[in-house]
Structure 1
C-alpha cells in the first residue's frame, strides 16, 4: 500500500477514535490546530504569551538578585570579534530578562582590529551592573570560558555563545526549576532546556530542538543537551572547569563530567535559548569547525575511562554523531524465540537469513508452533533441524493466538542468558545484527532490553523505537520515513533510550524477563511489548534501541489485519484499556524520551499543533538518572 495513503487512513481512524472517546469538539480543535500549524503563520510560537511575561516582570519588579528569592546564575560567555549587531542582540536579551537573578560574565579575547566589542560592552555595563567584563588573551574556547567563570559570583553557572539570544524568561524559569528540584529532594546540580534555531529574529524561528529527558545512551552519541545548560558552580570547579584539550567539543566533555558527579540531569522542556544560524556557527553543521569530531571522541573515550567501562568510540552514521561499540562481556548464549503458525515460506526466509548471516555464533533457535493446520508445515518442522543446527520446535498447548503466552511457553525451553523475541515474518539484513543488539546490554551498567531498526520491504521505517502516547497509546518512532535518513535530531541514526521497543525483535536479559514475570498474557495481541518494556523500566532498567541491527519486517502476514473483524476490534479496545488501567493514562501520554511539545498525532516528531502549555509556562522540570 502507498505509505502516504496508509498514513492518511491511520490518521482518519485516529480522528474517528478521538471523536468517540473525547468528543467532536476535541477532534475539531486538534484538526484546526493541525491546519494552523501546517498552513498559517508560526510567529513567536516558542515564546511565552505577553500576559505570562508581563506577570513575571511584575512579580520581580523592584527586586534585586539578592532579594528576588531565586538562585543567582552567572552566564559565561567568551567574546571573540563578535559582530556588533549580534553582540547587541545578545546583550539586550540579558538586560531584558524578566527576573534579576542573572549575572553576565564576559571574557573578551577579540583581536586589536575589533575594539568595538569592548566599547559596546562598556555601553551596556554603564546601565547594568550585573554585566562583568575582562579583556583576556585568546587561548581557545575552553580556556576563555574558564576565564569568564573566574568572574562569576553566582551559585550556578550557564553557558551562552556570543552570537545567540536568551529567551526573556530564561533566568526566571531556570531559577524556579532549581527550587522545584530542591523541593522534591532531587539533585539540582545540572539542568538543561529546549532551544530553537533562528536567523534574524527569534519571533520567527526556523525550528525548535525539543529534547527528551536525560537519555544516557543518546547523549553518548551526540551532544543533544547543548543549550541552555545550567550547573552548580561548585561542581564546575570540582571537575576542573572546561578542558582545552577538548576544544571544539568542550561543552559535551564538560557535561559528561558534570553528570558523572550529579548522577544524572534535569530537563526543563521550555525553549529558553535561541541559537543563531549563520556561516560560522556550529548550528549550521560541523563544517565550520572540522576539529569537533576528534574532540568529541576524546571526550567520550575519557568518560569511558573515568567510569571504568570498556568500548571503542567511533564515528556515527552522520557528522556530529558518534557511537560506543561496547565490549561484550563474556560470550552469552542468545535464545531466539520465534512463534510460528503455517506460513512456512516466511519462516524459511527468516531462518535462512539468521543462519546464513549471523556472525554471533552463540545462539539457539526455538520455533514455537502455534496451532498450524497445514500438513506441509509439520513436514517442514521435521526437516528443519537437520538443516539448521541448534533449531528446536516446541508445540504450544494453547488455542487461538496469544503472543504473550506463546513466548512465555517458549522461554521455558530456552537456555540462553538472553532471550530474543523475534517474529517469523522478518528477514535479517546485516551479519552483525545480533552482536549489535547485545552491545548496549551485555556490559556493566548496560540496558536490559534492546530493539532493532525494522524496515518495510519498500525501505521505509517500520520501527525505530516506541513512543508511548502516540495515537493515544503507543506508536513507532519515525514510521514511514525513508531508509537512510538521520531522523529528528539524529534520533533515527543513533543508539537511543526509549520507553519501549517492538516485540517483533526484542532482546532482553533472561534474568530480567523472569524478574518481571515475562509477558502479561492478558495482552494477547496488542501492547504486550509496550506493557513489558514499561514494567522493566519501572523495575529500574533501561530500554535501548540501535540502528545498527537492521531487519526487514513483513508486518503481520501471519495474523492479518484486525480492523474489519469486530471480535478482534473489541479485543484490541480491551487491550488499550488494560494498558491505561495498568500504567495510567497520564503516564502513557507522558513519555520521558519524547517531548510534550512534539505531536502525539503522528510518528514523525513534528511539533505539536497545540503549544499552549509551552507558551503558558506550564511545563516543569524533571530529573532522571
Structure 2
C-alpha cells in the first residue's frame, strides 16, 4: 500500500470515529475548515480579526500589564524594512511597550537615524541611541542599558511584530508573573498577510532546545534575569539568542528548579526571509554553527553535565555525545517471543553483531509457542549468545503482563523493552539511548524505527493524533529533517513506542510497570504518561536507528473482530485513565497543528489560534 493510500485509509477511519463519537456536526465543521483553508487561500491566516484586535485595545486600556522594552540593534537597515518594523510596534493593541533602537549604522546610512527620529518625534515610547558597531551582542546590550521596562524582548530590524504581540505577552505575564514567555512565529517575504509558513512550537522542551534554538521569536523575559547573566555574549555572536536563553533558563532553575519558560501558542512574530537573514538558512551565516555548539557546551559546563557537543544531522543543529559512567550500567533487554524464530534470530544477530555498548543481558520471554523448532532454538540460544537466556511466561498474550513478569528476572539498572521483529542498524544505538536516559530528569528514551522500505515508522508519539495517539512523522522518508528539525534532533515527547523503549529500572518500579489492563494497545502510551505525570521526561533520539517489521508476530488487529473490539476498548480506557482533554492537548505538540496527519501540517481549522 502506498504512503498516500495509508494516510487516506487512516484519515477515513478517524473521520468515522469522530462522526460516531461527536456527531455529524463536528465532522462537518472539521471538513469545512479544511476546505476553507485548502481552497479559499491563506491570506492573514494567523492574524486575529478586526473585532478581536479592537477588543484587545479596549481591554488593555483597563489593565496594568508590565512594560516590555523591545530591544532592536540597527545596522544599515533598508528603509523598506525599517518603516514596516517600527510601524508594527506602534500599531500594537496594548500600550505597555518601549522600543529601544541602538543604531550602529555607518556614515553612508545616516538616513536610518533620520527615519527613527521622524517616528520618535511623535512617539515618546521610542528611544534611540547612536553607537559604535561592536557586533550583535554588544549592540543589544547597549540597547538594554536604556530599557526601562521590567521585561525585555528581542526583535530584529528587518522583521515585524504581530499587532497583538505585546497584548498576548503582557496579559500572560500579568496573570502568571512568569520570568520568561515565548510565542510561535511565521516566515514571510513581502507581507505578514501572506506568510510562507508558521513555526508552531511545543511547550518548553529542554532536550530539543539544546539541539536547536526552537524558541527564537518572540521571547520576552525579565530584565533582572538578563542583567543577572550579564546580557548577551559576543563570544556567541551568531547564536547569541540561543546562548542567552540557555543561560537565563539556567539562572531561573538555579533559583527554582521547577521554573520554566511559558509558551504562547499564537503567531506573535513575523520573520522576514531574504538573502542575508538566518531565516533563509544557516548557510547565509556559517559562523552560527560554531557559535551554537559553544553555547550548548557552556550550558553543559554550567550545569555540571558531561558530554561532547558535535554538529547535528543538519547545519545549525547540535548533537551531544553524553559521557557514560564506568563501569557501564547494565541494560536488561526484554524480548517477548512466540515462535517466529526467523524474526527473533534476525533481531538477536543484529543486536550482538552490531551493538558497541558492552554491558547488557538479554531475556527472551517465551509466550505460548507451539512450534517444536522454537524450543530447539531456545535450547541452543545461551551458548550462541552471551548473557542471553530464556524465561517462560505462562498465560495468554498480554504485552504488559509479559514485560512485568520479565522485569522480575532482570538485573539491569535500565530495562529495554524490545520487540522480536526489530533489527539494529547502527552500532552505537544503545550507547546513545543510555546516554540520553542517564541525564537528570529523563526517565525514558525511545528510538528511531523505520519500515523496511526506509520510511519512518516511529519518531516519537504525539497524543491526540487520530483522536488518541499516533507516531510523529510516520511514513516520512528516511534522512529528512522533518518539521523544524524535529525528525533530526533529540526531542522531548509525551510518549514513545515500547517496540524499543529504554527506561530506568527504578522509574519502571516506581510507577508499578505497565498497566496489565492494556493487554496489547496503548500500554506504552499509558506507561509514558504515568512516568511523565510522576515528574520524569520522555526523550526520543534519531541517533538510535532500527528497522521494525511491525506486528509480524501478531497480525493485523483490524481484520480480526475480536482483536478490533479489544483495541477499541483499550483506546477508550486511555481516555478514562488520563482524560480526553489531556490526551488531545499534548504539551509537545502545537494546538495549531493537525490531529489528522502525522506530518506536522497546519490544522485545517487552525483551532485555538485566534
TM-score scaled by length of structure 1: 0.95
Q: Which runs of 5+ in 1 are unaligned?
A: 183-187, 616-625
What do residues 493-514 of structure 1 show as CA deviations (whole Å, max 9, x unaligned)? Answer: 0000000000000000001101
In the aligned structure 2, how far is the partner of 1:351 from the partner of 1:287?
42
What do residues 493-551 of structure 1 show as CA deviations (whole Å, max 9, x unaligned)? Answer: 00000000000000000011011000000000000000000000111101000000000
Runs of 4+ in 1 over 4 A off after TM superposition: none
For the Cα contact (< 8 Å) 1:353–1:428, is it kept in 2? yes
Choose the corresponding residue for 2:73, options 62, 65, 78.
Answer: 78
What do residues 249-288 of structure 1 show as CA deviations (whole Å, max 9, x unaligned)? Answer: 1111110111012232111111100000000100001112
What do residues 438-484 of structure 1 show as CA deviations (whole Å, max 9, x unaligned)? Answer: 111124x1511000000000000000000001001100000000000
Match of 2:256 in 1: none
- Stretch of structure 1 that moved more, 452-461 or 572-581: 572-581
Choose the corresponding residue for 1:392, options 354, 365, 389.
Answer: 389
Q: Does 1:280 align with 2:270?
A: no
Match of 1:566 in 2: 561
In the aligned structure 2, how far is the partner of 1:293 from the partner of 1:446?
27
**Alpha-carbon shift at residue 68 of structure 1 (Å):** 4.4
For the Cα contact (< 8 Å) 2:73–2:104, is it kept in 1? yes
Q: Does 1:424 align with 2:420?
A: yes
Match of 1:620 in 2: none
Match of 1:347 in 2: 344
Q: Does 1:191 align with 2:186?
A: no
In the aligned structure 1, how far is the partner of 2:416 from the partner of 2:160?
48
In the aligned structure 1, how far is the partner of 2:483 from the partner of 2:40?
22
Match of 1:43 in 2: 43
TM-score scaled by length of structure 2: 0.98
Give 3-state SS (helix, strand or coil) of 2:452's partner.
coil
For the Cα contact (< 8 Å) 2:189–2:274, is it kept in 1? yes
Match of 2:20 in 1: 20
**Alpha-carbon shift at residue 329 of structure 1 (Å):** 2.3
Matches within 5 A, 1:466-477: 466-477=461-472
In the aligned structure 2, how far is the partner of 1:612 from the partner of 1:312?
41
What do residues 334-392 of structure 1 show as CA deviations (whole Å, max 9, x unaligned)? Answer: 00000011111100100100010010011111000111111111111111221111111
Q: Does 1:415 align with 2:405?
A: no
Choose the corresponding residue for 1:121, options 116, 119, 137.
Answer: 116
Match of 1:622 in 2: none
Match of 1:92 in 2: 87
For the Cα contact (< 8 Å) 1:453–1:463, is it kept in 2? yes
Match of 1:9 in 2: 9
Match of 1:31 in 2: 31
Choose the corresponding residue for 2:575, options 580, 585, 602.
Answer: 580
Match of 1:457 in 2: 452
Q: Does 1:297 align with 2:293?
A: yes
**Alpha-carbon shift at residue 36 of structure 1 (Å):** 2.8
Matches within 5 A, 1:544-559: 544-559=539-554
Give 3-state SS (helix, strand or coil) of 1:452's partner.
strand
Give 3-state SS (helix, strand or coil) of 1:75's partner.
strand
CA RMSD of aligned residues (A): 1.0
Match of 1:202 in 2: 192
For the Cα contact (< 8 Å) 1:426–1:552, is it kept in 2? yes
Q: Which runs of 5+ in 2 are unaligned?
A: 254-259
For the Cα contact (< 8 Å) 1:212–1:593, is it kept in 2? yes
In the aligned structure 2, how far is the partner of 1:386 from the partner of 1:258?
55
Matches within 5 A, 1:316-331: 316-330=312-326, 331=328
In the aligned structure 2, how far is the partner of 1:538 from the partner of 1:243?
37
Match of 1:239 in 2: 229
In the aligned structure 2, how far is the partner of 1:579 from the partner of 1:59?
40
For the Cα contact (< 8 Å) 2:64–2:174, is it kept in 1? no
Matches within 5 A, 1:508-519: 508-519=503-514
For the Cα contact (< 8 Å) 1:68–1:101, is it kept in 2? no
Match of 1:538 in 2: 533
In the aligned structure 1, how far is the partner of 2:493 from the partner of 2:504?
17
Match of 1:597 in 2: 592
* Aligned length, in residue pairs: 603
In the aligned structure 1, how far is the partner of 2:520 from the partner of 2:590?
28
In the aligned structure 1, how far is the partner of 2:20 from the partner of 2:407?
39
What do residues 68-111 of structure 1 show as CA deviations (whole Å, max 9, x unaligned)? Answer: 41100000000000010100000010111111100000000000
In the aligned structure 2, how far is the partner of 1:58 from the partner of 1:225?
30
In the aligned structure 2, how far is the partner of 1:422 from the partner of 1:346?
12
Give 3-state SS (helix, strand or coil) of 1:440's partner.
helix
Match of 1:185 in 2: none
Match of 1:366 in 2: 363
In the aligned structure 2, how far is the partner of 1:72 from the partner of 1:403?
55
Q: Does 1:251 align with 2:248?
A: no
For the Cα contact (< 8 Å) 2:591–2:607, is it kept in 1? no
In the aligned structure 2, how far is the partner of 1:562 from the partner of 1:16?
17
For the Cα contact (< 8 Å) 2:436–2:539, is it kept in 1? yes
For the Cα contact (< 8 Å) 1:337–1:407, is it kept in 2? yes
Give 3-state SS (helix, strand or coil) of 2:545's partner.
strand
For the Cα contact (< 8 Å) 1:74–1:102, is it kept in 2? yes
